[in-house]
Structure 1
């Protein structure tokens, strides 16, 4: 800065220049060096041109050329605009409903691919805003379009035609040979080769209606409890189904009769059985029992008495404890079982509703809809809650709700880590198909939001089931079977999620049949460069809106010559021993067909 003396000082005019320049150019003014005791002081006055050497800048011109006004758009739609300016266009910004859409396009041709699935269906406005090198802008006239993705399978998925079954699939179990075991009672168990649509009856003497089940480490199926001779009487029997022989064998009875029990596979391969009605409704068997397949014996956990209601949602956590997060009929507090001390402790005393649940990532649980039963009345809920048991002080957090209220719905975790919900009813009673919800919905753990998917053909309410298959489709079946006034749905349909319509699928050409904890194993694939995810998903076993042993376990991998080197989970508490589907997923979210491998 120049500070002038209050008694006066000298201002030297060294040089005086006048210049004319066009907009966007610069002018240099040079000066001589002043004497050593004076400072350089430049005064610059800028005046607008008067036609004697410059043209006043004008805004650019711009217009939208696609899509056309009134067009209906779906999936990925390309937007186009033309823009011009005498001094040059610096960029074009597309606008959706008045807000920027994507990044500014800096060079012609001015286009942008718009993923219409990111907005709600219905009417939207598009426009383009051009900017010139002088910073002046012009916004085009808006174009009104209608977004309609209701029929685009790459957006909402697709349902197959309905396939007839010999009985109602109250229980639905994926076997290690990729076939499906389903049943309604003891006379109806059936093995279904759904690829060739063939059925093999495998009846047993026990009435398996509303039993519990778990897959053993070797791929056999343990079924516990069921229905007794008169109404609301459980049974203590337990049986094992061997899919390699299509045969049943009895194991020792449990100490307690159980109807509507839960069977949970533990990290050591044993099976924990909880709950179940004994002689009358709500006469709950409070003492858990553990079946040891190595010794073919049962052990009672007499100090862990907890009289849960039907089908408690119980998961083994990565730290070995077991968490109980409610059940299909009643919302409850959330508590933890320490098997070492046989003690329960409350995790979250707040009751969060939820009629179906899934551990969508290790230690992270989501539940949604309403816990309900035929004796209940009132509207279903559409609420969703998540619980992160990896946090120091876990507590349920409410997230955005489903579009549809639902009781009696099923949730299925998919290979791309999204969660599908299907079926259900808008009333808690469950006895009126007029209240059935046909549209599926898809939940994103990243955004914790729901997106409405395609609608199935058949209502699926109480006794509805849903199961992930190795080909990444979802098998949906069941409803009815001695419940209310709803019909017995002896049929099934397959849901193909949107990822099956987004390009070629990666393929696995070779994989091991068995893998060990913490070991590296090789999977051959010609698609190494495109793979971004690899995940193990335990083969499912579902009844009453709950897969009793669901597991989604991401695994690390490295590219290798001709395929991938994958590292198996290090700990059985993270992934209990048993049969798992291995999916590899590419950058566009498309999964492979999964081989089934035994983790041990």
Structure 2
């Protein structure tokens, strides 16, 4: 297992029982193609779906996609509230929150006549403005990016990788970039492999890692727009979006939906530094949320027997903690009130997690089952590990639906449909709803909106581990300051969201805040900056851009040959002695300084062997163990010193390649000074 795993408690605290059922049909490419109506223009899908919806409504009196039952309106201060349904010109299958607060949304082949799309050279897209519910069409010409992966670039633009080449399920090698400031598209460089259902993950150095969608070899979209292969990671090729997140140690965590997870250094040609089991459930069409530094909630999904009931998605959730070592520790947390598949898990402005949508039976379909829809929202509290059932939406959100946090603290939900069973049951949700969480209401039963703290001033940019100030009249009442990544969500997978709590002090109307502790915690790009008061009410977010950390992350200074700390032959073995070598941005030099004052490379910690603090002691990499031998001081004079003996300094033996690295008596020479 990854770390230590325990059974998750159910609603009454009893352990869940699980029997696994192999995933059926959705792992088969041909059936997947049929399910997604590959080759069918949206005009035809909408027409046929409407015909079936009209027929079903005449026969049953119920419009497909409408919630079967809705509880009486509860106090929104306890249950939140849902907005009226708002129609849109595009089905929200792919949703990306932009740095200006607007939302890029797209679906599939456009709404012209069928015969005009023999080569899938068109995608319906829009920029939607939640401030006034207006939109602008920004259709992509040249490709169908249905089934693509996507993520934000450091400048706020959206990288889109892969898509739908034709009716035969072929993926595409194409990449596109959506420019948020001009609301235009440009074509990027081609990938080596054609991809359909890949994921794209942001990393500490500003690169984007592309995994899955058919090809076995991962690829990296570099900061200069070039794409390189990652031949040392070939463990995930599935045509279902993988769960991925940047870890504090700047490595990439791949942890779903399958049970086996990987820890990967993506520098150079890559290397897998850890392989382990997440839990016993294949969480296909489940969801996940990075809700704290190094911590992710994985919830729902699958097709199993649970609690004596067959063919259901799981109610359970687990927490992965990658702060504890090479492979994340896994612990169970509370279970939802019902199993969900096709749900979206969305981090909120206070760091809690909202689950919306989904279905709770899989015996009829793993994609859409309107008779077994879950329309209530549930909120997970990370402090208690428990879920609370909230208000119910008016519309069913299942396959091809999305949910994303907005800067005003609400959650935009929308979409659903565009599949074979969707069309036959009349299910197509070309609309959105907003969920207003309870934290935006007064907690007094009045149903009135709460007074919100206000960010009067904050910088446009934030540095890694750098101090900045926020001006707010409510400074004395603030209890949380946090950055929240902008959503990039489809199929229950949001590769953009992450919650990064920040340390701060208050004085007068000023909050003095320290930026994210490491680039792996907050990859470079735009974030929503929230403050939350003592009543749990968040401000409207201020958009800030987090800068990229130094590259290389640690290197020698006053050294004309540019030598860097290096692991010989990129060795993963403990007790590998360090050297200096020409700086080359390889995985052997991907050294990361963490907030616990450790230095990590390839999953190991830089260590003083046997705590032998004597001058001339060579330094090696060793499995991270939390001992003082792996703790360092980083001084303003450029020296790096063992925390247990600050009279010694980390030093290179010479300016030459392959020079030994040791601790020696501090003399402040150039070979003892480093930048990081």
TM-score, structure 1 as length reference: 0.71
In the TM superposition, what is the alpha-carbon distance from 1:516 to its structure 2 partner? 2.0
2:242 corresponds to which residue? 312
Where do residues 509-588 of structure 1 align in structure 2 (5 Å cutoff)? 509-588=456-535
Q: Distance in 1 between matches of 2:88 and 2:504?
A: 40
SS at match of 1:303: coil
**1:353 deviation in Å?**
4.1
Q: In 1, distance between residues paired with 2:516 and 2:272?
A: 28
Equivalent residues in 2 for 1:300-379, closer than 5 Å: 300-309=229-238, 310-327=240-257, 331-340=258-267, 341-343=270-272, 345-348=274-277, 350-354=279-283, 355-371=286-302, 378-379=311-312
Q: CA, structure 1 residues 528+166, in 2 after alignment: closer, same or farther (shift >3 Å)?
A: same
Q: Is 1:505 matched up with 2:452?
A: yes
In structure 2, how many angstroms separate the alpha carbons of the residues matched to 1:199 and 1:399? 40
| 2:84 paired with 1:154 | no
- After superposition, where does 1:229-240 map in structure 2 within 5 Å? 229-240=166-177
| CA–CA separation in structure 1 for the residues paired with 2:334 and 2:156 | 38
| Structure 2 residue corresponding to 1:383, chosen from 310, 316, 321 | 316
C-alpha displacement of 1:149: 9.5
Asked if residue 272 in structure 1 is aligned to residue 209 in structure 2, the reply is yes
CA contact (8 A) 1:520 1:566 kept: yes
Q: Deviations over 1:345-364 (max 9, x none)?
A: 31336434431111111211
Q: Name 1:214's counterpart in structure 2.
A: 151
CA contact (8 A) 2:98 2:156 kept: yes
CA shift at 1:210, angstroms? Answer: 1.4
Answer with 246-255 or 482-491: which moved more: 482-491
Query: Does 1:400 find its partner at 2:343?
Result: no
User: Are the equivalent residues in 2 in contact too, given 1:517–1:569 (CA < 8 A)?
Assistant: yes
Change (3 A) 1:563 1:183: same
**Greater share of helix:** 2
Segments of structure 1 that go 5 or more residues without pairing to the other structure are 1-118, 121-147, 277-283
- Pairing partner for 1:491 from 403, 406, 431: 431
Following superposition, the deviation at residue 589 of structure 1 comes to: 0.5
- Offset from partner CA, 1:358-387 (integer Å, 9 cap, x none): 1111211111111369xxx92222111122
Give the whole-Å Cα distance in 1 for the aligned partners of 2:328 and 2:227.
33
| Residue of structure 1 in register with 2:663 after alignment | none
1:121-200 matches, cutoff 5 A: 151-185=74-108, 186-200=122-136
Larger displacement relative to structure 2 (235-244 or 191-200): 191-200
Who is 2:360 aligned against?
Answer: 426
Task: Please tell me whether residue 409 in structure 1 is matched to residue 343 in structure 2.
Answer: yes
Instruction: Report the more deviating stretch, 246-255 or 179-188.
Output: 179-188
> 2:349 & 2:505 partners in 1: Cα distance?
19
1:371–1:408 contact (8 Å) kept in structure 2: no
Q: Deviations over 1:324-345 (max 9, x none)?
A: 1112xxx321221133552253
8 Å contact from structure 1 (residues 520, 568) kept in 2: yes
Partners of 2:421 and 2:341 in 1: CA distance: 15
8 Å contact 2:476–2:507 — kept in the other structure?
A: no
Mapped partners of 1:225, 1:301: distance in 2: 17
Report the Cα distance in structure 2 between the residues aligned to 1:372 and 1:362, rounded to whole angstroms.
Answer: 30
Question: Alignment partner of 1:434: what SS?
Answer: helix
User: Per-residue deviation at 1:236?
Assistant: 0.7
- Alpha-carbon distance, 1:537 to partner: 0.4
| 2: CA distance, partners of 1:191 / 1:549 | 18
Q: Distance in 2 between matches of 1:231 and 1:372?
A: 27
SS at match of 2:530: strand
Asked whether the equivalents of residues 461 and 545 of structure 2 are also in contact (C-alpha less than 8 Å), the reply is yes
The structure-2 alpha-carbon separation of the partners of 1:349 and 1:451, relative to structure 1 and needing over 3 Å to count, comes to closer
Tell me which residue corresponds to 1:57.
Answer: none
**Higher mean C-alpha deviation, range 555-564 or range 462-471:** 555-564
- Of stretches 527-536 and 352-361 in structure 1, the one that deviates more from structure 2 is 352-361
The answer as to whether partners of 1:333 and 1:351 remain within 8 angstroms in 2 is no
Number of aligned residues: 441
Preserved CA contact (<8 Å) 2:335 2:386: yes
Distance 2:303 2:160 in 1: 24
How far does residue 187 in structure 1 lie from its aligned partner after superposition?
2.5
Q: Is 1:249 matched up with 2:176?
A: no
Deviation at 1:430, TM superposition (A): 2.1
Partner of 2:673: none
Tell me, in whole angstroms, the C-alpha distance in 2 between the residues paired with 1:394 and 1:190: 39
Structure 2: any 5+ residue segments left out of the alignment? 1-10, 13-70, 109-121, 305-309, 443-449, 548-676
**Secondary structure of 2:439's match?**
helix
State the distance in 1 between where 2:95 and 2:419 align: 17
Q: Distance in 2 between matches of 1:174 and 1:339?
A: 26
Q: What SS does structure 2 have at the residue aligned with 1:406? A: coil
Deviation at residue 394 of structure 1 after TM alignment = 3.7
For residues 91-102 of structure 1, the aligned pairs below 5 Å read: none
Runs of 4+ in structure 1 off by over 4 angstroms are none
Greater Cα radius of gyration, structure 1 or 2: 1
Tell me the distance in 1 between the aligned counterparts of 2:273 and 2:188: 29
SS of aligned partner of 2:337: coil
The one of the two structures with greater contact order (alpha-carbon pairs below 8 A, sep at least 6) is: 2
Partner of 2:573: none
Measured in 1, the distance between the counterparts of 2:542 and 2:81 equals 23
The reply to whether residue 299 of structure 1 matches residue 228 of structure 2 is: yes
Distance in 2 (CA, whole Å) between partners of 1:380 and 1:551 is 25
